[in-house]
Amino acid sequence: MFIASALTSGVAASAESHERAPADSVSALKARPNDGSGYWPDFSNTGYAKTPANAGGLGLKAYPGKLTNYASNMSASKPLTLRFPNNSVISFKRFLALKVYIYGDNLTFVGCSFEGTNPDDNLVQIYSDNKIKFLYSTFKPNSYSRPPGNDGTVSSSHSKPGTPFNKSWQYATTMKEAVVVMDHNDIWGNAGMQMVTGFPGRPSTWTNNYIHDMADTSHDVYHHDGIGPQSEGNGGPMVVRHNTLASLGNTNALALQGDGVYDHISFTDNYVSGWGYALSIGVANNATNITVTGNIFSTELEQLYGFLYGNLWGGSARGSTWRGNLIQARAGDGNRAYSTADNGKYLWPTGNDGHTTDYTG
């Protein structure tokens, strides 16, 4: 069923402000994705099968127990073109394709699944002018029901290669200037989410998403990114709040990799583990109004280099803030640059060492 509705700012606020409801005894530092606590985004609270009633404030029912195929002749070997009236809400549909082309503006997908195999190319290609939303949806390879190596007790597979290259997909990409609202989505088996970072007055928003298990992490055919890559710079505003960004890989959980100015980027209350450099906020020291606060940088997964590329984040002189970012380290973790003595220490933007006091620069 398609529901046409005028998507107001109030609806957007409802989707963006849906916060976790953690157990009272659980703290961010104690919890990990898929540990049963439900504190962080994981298999228990993201993706189409976990869609609650009234998701996004849209008045829809909860996940009905089964998705409806969008078309009867869908195949992972051929493209699928979707054209919806502007302001449509599309719920509980399964889209299977080599590539899904989406046309229409201010569309909202709720409780949907996008599945396919398209190595080194887009699985989802979006032609929208202003905004597009994905709530409680799943983006995955069609060959697997669960990521290879992830048995549902870890944030992401601790072993390579993940989804093999020839069964993977590379990106979901916005082809025009639509900003995205991404909330409670389950995303894996790929190499990045290449979405517009935002424009003044039109922020992109990523909340409560589970982004994990990048594809082909053994052979490094891909440039592995979580949110991104954005390679031009001159992006923002952007809100990245309370997501799980965990995977083996060679580049960044937040991949803002251009030399232009990134402005008003907020990265708060996220669980981050693995990658090459976990965060990249530009490749030149020119960012402005960057907020990096309250994040857990976990040593659960092997990490190639460090937590912050080039120690670049703008700095207080450019209106930026770095506070309350903690290292989470446990025995047996994959990032062996740290030990249990580092657990609970503060991470500073000036290096990878743990500190007993917070950064004040």
Q: What is the pLDDT of residue 276?
A: 97
Under 8 Å between Cβ of 307 and 354: no
Q: What is the distance between the alpha carbons of residues 94 and 125, in angstroms, rounded to a whole number?
A: 16
11 — phi, psi (to 5°)?
-65, -40
Peptide bond into 161 cis (omega under 30): yes
What is the token pair recorded at 159? 């072993």
Helix or strand holding residue 274 (H, E): strand 271-274
What pLDDT score was predicted for residue 65?
98
Distances (CA, A) of 126 to 39, 84, 189: 31, 12, 19
Write down the pLDDT at residue 7: 30
pTM greater than 0.85 (yes/no): yes
**Structure token digits, residue 228:** 């991104």
* SS3 at position 342: helix
Residue 12 is predicted with a pLDDT of: 35
Query: Residue 310, SS3?
Result: helix
- State the pLDDT at residue 11: 33
Residue 164 to residue 186: CA distance in whole angstroms: 19
The SS3 call for residue 318 is: helix
d(CA 252, CA 222): 12
Q: Compute the distance between CA of residue 79 and CA of residue 124 in angstroms, rounded to an integer.
A: 10
Residue 12 DSSP symbol: H
Q: Supply the pLDDT for residue 13.
A: 37
pLDDT at position 89 is: 98
Q: How far is CA 117 from CA 156, 168, 198, in A?
A: 20, 5, 28
pLDDT in tens, the chain (361 residues): 334 333 333 333 333 334 444 444 569 999 999 999 999 999 999 999 999 999 999 999 999 999 999 999 999 999 999 999 999 999 999 999 999 999 999 999 999 999 999 999 999 999 999 999 999 999 999 999 999 999 999 999 999 999 999 999 999 999 999 999 999 999 999 999 999 999 999 999 999 999 999 999 999 899 999 999 999 889 999 999 999 999 999 999 999 999 999 999 999 999 999 999 999 999 999 999 999 999 999 999 999 999 999 999 999 999 999 999 999 999 999 999 999 999 999 999 999 999 999 999 8
